[in-house]
Amino acid sequence: MFFSIDPHNGVAIYEQIVRQVKFAIAEGTLSPGQLLPSVRVLSQRLAINSNTIARAFQQLQADGALELVRGRGLAVCANATGPCQDARRTLIADRLRSVLTEALHGGLEPADIKRIVREQLDTLAGSVATVASAPDEESSP
């Protein structure tokens, strides 16, 4: 699983981790019962404070996406896929609604917005790494 953390995008780092784990569960990159890396390992791999990772994992446990397996670590809950798919859909819908509201408020016509969205989808298609993707050689730290 590949994490893409951007400290400058306006979303808290722990929340970026929460979202990416949920998205990975939703798309099947992380499957029920699969163990996640420990806080220490993930902290070292991402060069992020271990408290930030721990906070994200606590949130994922509270949300029912992860569960503690005694003596082994945190694993994806058996019934996490559906709720994570719902959470992904809701998050994206809310973010799109915000952007569309701003575009309409700014005076763009629906046809213009559709054209812009279509152009951006065409531009991004195939060029955006998913949580299942390995980082490119160029973007590796």
Which residue range is the domain that position 53 belongs to?
1-127
Q: Is residue 140 part of a domain?
A: no
Give 1's pLDDT tier (boundaries 50, 70, 90): low
Domain count of the chain? 1
- What is the pTM (predicted TM-score) of this model? 0.81
**136: pLDDT strictly greater than 50:** no
How far apart are the C-alpha atoms of 55 and 43, rounded to whole Å?
12
Q: Is residue 136 part of a domain?
A: no
Predicted confidence (pLDDT) per residue in 77-107, tens digit: 999 999 999 999 999 999 999 999 999 999 9
C-alpha distances in Å from residue 109, one per residue of 15, 97, 116: 33, 15, 11
Q: Is residue 135 a contact partner of residue 2, using CB atoms and an 8 Å limit? A: yes
The two tokens of residue 121 are 């989808």
Q: Is residue 107 part of a domain?
A: yes
Residue 30 has a pLDDT of 95
Q: Is residue 132 part of a domain?
A: no
How far apart are the C-alpha atoms of 43 and 5, rounded to whole Å?
12
Residue 23 has a pLDDT of 95
What sign does the CA torsion over 51, 56, 59, 65 have? negative
Average pLDDT, the chain: 90
Q: What percent of the chain has pLDDT over 70?
A: 91
Q: Is residue 134 part of a domain?
A: no
Q: CATH number, domain at 115?
A: 1.10.10.10
The two tokens of residue 116 are 């812009």
Q: Is residue 65 part of a domain?
A: yes
